[in-house]
Amino acid sequence: MRQDAPAFHRNKQPMLNVLQSILPTKPLNVIEIASGTGQHGPFFTSHIKNLTWWPTDISSDAIASINAWREHLQELSIQPAQFLDVTDQQWMTGQPIKGLPNQVDAILSMNMIHIAPYAATKGLLAGAGNRLATNGLLILYGPFKQHDVAFAPSNQSFDKNLKYRNPQWGIRQLEDIQQLALTHNLILKQIFSLPANNLAVVLKKQPNRLQTQPRCEA
């Protein structure tokens, strides 16, 4: 049941460094979106002791692998994996989901938004906007396009390959995500350049906008 992702062995340490530099040291609840094999959670929580980790994925094979790693490593801060599709209304609108906390301090999504239709990016941002506590962080990891940065040849061919596999997949434009995130009260806080032309993108939840009070006629 325990699957192994070769990319995990390459990106686990750079991402751990990012998480150690941005996450506060108080007890934190972290939802991981698209946990895949489920290897990242145990690695991060074994090094950052204040995290309670809530792994999720849309795929039942992934859920089985996440739970198998959890049992194998006996990492107590890892919670049982939950089935979650970020395009589900329940996630996007912030309604309670069984087995997950309703409000969290951080949401991490590694290597999902380019290997899923753009609806998944939209759903991820909407749900994050509704579930992050004020000042909570949404952390994205993967390749991105940026207007003022040359598109690396390796990412160009990866993008072509993704679109060949599914025309709705592809490397996303960071500025589009930044714009969309603003509509969910998430502002870009930091960008880390990581090996193999990947980025870690950190967005921060702003206080909810004040609702305009209806005028009371005297």
Ligand X SMILES: C[S@@+](CC[C@H](N)C(=O)[O-])C[C@H]1O[C@@H](n2cnc3c(N)ncnc32)[C@H](O)[C@@H]1O
Q: How many residues does the chain have?
A: 218
User: How many other CB atoms are found less than 10 A from the CB of residue 213?
Assistant: 6
Closer to ligand X by CB, 96 or 207: give it: 96
In DSSP terms, 108 is beta-bridged to: 32, 139
Residues in CB range of 125: below 8 A, 6 or more apart: 138, 177, 180, 181, 184, 186
Q: Rule CB under 6 A: is residue 115 a binding residue for ligand X?
A: yes
Count of residues engaged in binding ligand X, rule: CB under 6 A: 22
Output the residue with the shortest Cβ distance to ligand X: 36
Question: What's the min distance (Å) between Cβ of 110 and ligand X?
Answer: 4
User: How many other CB atoms are found less than 10 A from the CB of residue 20?
Assistant: 12
Q: Rule CB under 6 A: is residue 16 a binding residue for ligand X?
A: no
Q: Rule CB under 6 A: is residue 3 a binding residue for ligand X?
A: no
Q: Rule CB under 6 A: is residue 86 a binding residue for ligand X?
A: yes
Tell which residue, 95, 90, 77, 69, has the closest CA to residue 3: 69
Q: Whole-angstrom distance between the N-terminal and C-terminal Cα of the chain?
A: 68
Q: Rule CB under 6 A: is residue 64 a binding residue for ligand X?
A: no
Name which position in 23, 30, 62, 174 contacts ligand X (CB under 6 A): 62
Q: Which stretch binds ligand X (CB under 6 A): 113-121, 126-134, 148-156, 200-208?
A: 113-121
Name which position in 18, 54, 57, 66 contacts ligand X (CB under 6 A): 57
| Whole-number Å distance between alpha carbons of 211 and 54 | 31
Report the SS3 class of residue 22.
helix
Q: Rule CB under 6 A: is residue 68 a binding residue for ligand X?
A: no
Is the separation of the CB atoms in 48 and 23 below 8 Å?
yes
Name which position in 41, 63, 77, 85 contacts ligand X (CB under 6 A): 85
Q: Rule CB under 6 A: is residue 66 a binding residue for ligand X?
A: no
Closer to ligand X by CB, 57 or 105: give it: 57
Closer to ligand X by CB, 66 or 181: give it: 66
Is the separation of the CB atoms in 67 and 81 below 8 Å?
yes
Q: Rule CB under 6 A: is residue 112 a binding residue for ligand X?
A: yes
Is the separation of the CB atoms in 89 and 74 below 8 Å?
no
Q: Rule CB under 6 A: is residue 87 a binding residue for ligand X?
A: yes
Report the SS3 class of residue 85.
coil
| Site residues for ligand X per CB under 6 A | 5, 7-8, 33-37, 57-59, 62, 84-87, 110-112, 115-116, 120
